Amino acid sequence: MHPHQELHSILFDIGNVLIDWDPRHLYRKIFVTEDGQPDDTKITWFLDTICTMAWNVAQDRGRSIADANQELITKWPDYSAEITAYYERFQEMITGPIAASQVAFDHFRSCGFKIYGLTNFSRETFPPTRERFAILQKFDDVLVSGEEGLIKPDQAIFNLAIDRFGLIPATTLFIDDSAANIATAMQLGFQTHHFTTGSQRLIDGQGIGGAISNLARA
């Protein structure tokens, strides 16, 4: 964003921007060595081979959890308990809000910006997640991929957000942790901020005034 560019709205991703989500948080409790330590080799194998990100994305695109589980259990019956745990214990994958982002969100709100969500999330797991975290209840509105059958980084879901929320991309800041999603947003004319662990430290280190300045100029 150019320093003189007006900013009217904020469009937040949710997972790993506002809340910390990682399947490993759960599977470190499930796959353990004889001495009770997380079996990182087994965890990596399981998430790379069975409950993969591509499989998870299908639920974010709208497939039911029941159908997703059935697909994998048919292929991997010996891992049926570990497969079903993915969604039965989904909330254990989320450790909590990301503090720096919560501060930035609240400051954006106090400045009078409209704040919206655009998230890749299963239609079945998003409602309990939103109920659990107060920050997810503060949006002016939120668009969930699994409810729409559309998913980032496809342009279609961004265009739907533009239409539904009445956004003007040039005056909307899009914040996401995915480079692919940021690239699509930039193609559509959004101001963007690629959220990373480095940017979290920047926010923590400079305080909210510096955070807003850096977000606005990214």
pLDDT in tens, 26-55: 999 999 999 999 999 999 999 999 999 999
Sheet-wide strand order for 114-119 = 141-144, 114-119, 9-12, 172-176, 191-194
pLDDT in tens, 99-109: 989 999 999 99
Instruction: Say if residue 17's pLDDT is above 80.
Output: yes
Q: In the chain, which segments carry CATH 3.40.50.1000?
A: 9-18+98-217
What is the arithmetic mean of pLDDT over 159-178?
97
pLDDT band, very low/low/confident/very high, at 165 (cuts 50, 70, 90): very high
Predicted pLDDT of residue 209 = 42
Instruction: Say if residue 213's pLDDT is above 50.
Output: no
For residues 28 and 91, the answer to whether their CB atoms sit within 8 Å is: no
pTM as predicted: 0.89
Predicted pLDDT of residue 210 = 46
Q: Can the peptide bond before residue 153 be classed as cis, meaning omega within 30 degrees of 0?
A: yes
CATH of 9-18+98-217, one of 3.40.50.970, 1.20.1740.10, 3.40.50.1000, 3.40.50.150: 3.40.50.1000
pLDDT in tens, 47-59: 999 999 999 999 9
pLDDT band, very low/low/confident/very high, at 196 (cuts 50, 70, 90): confident
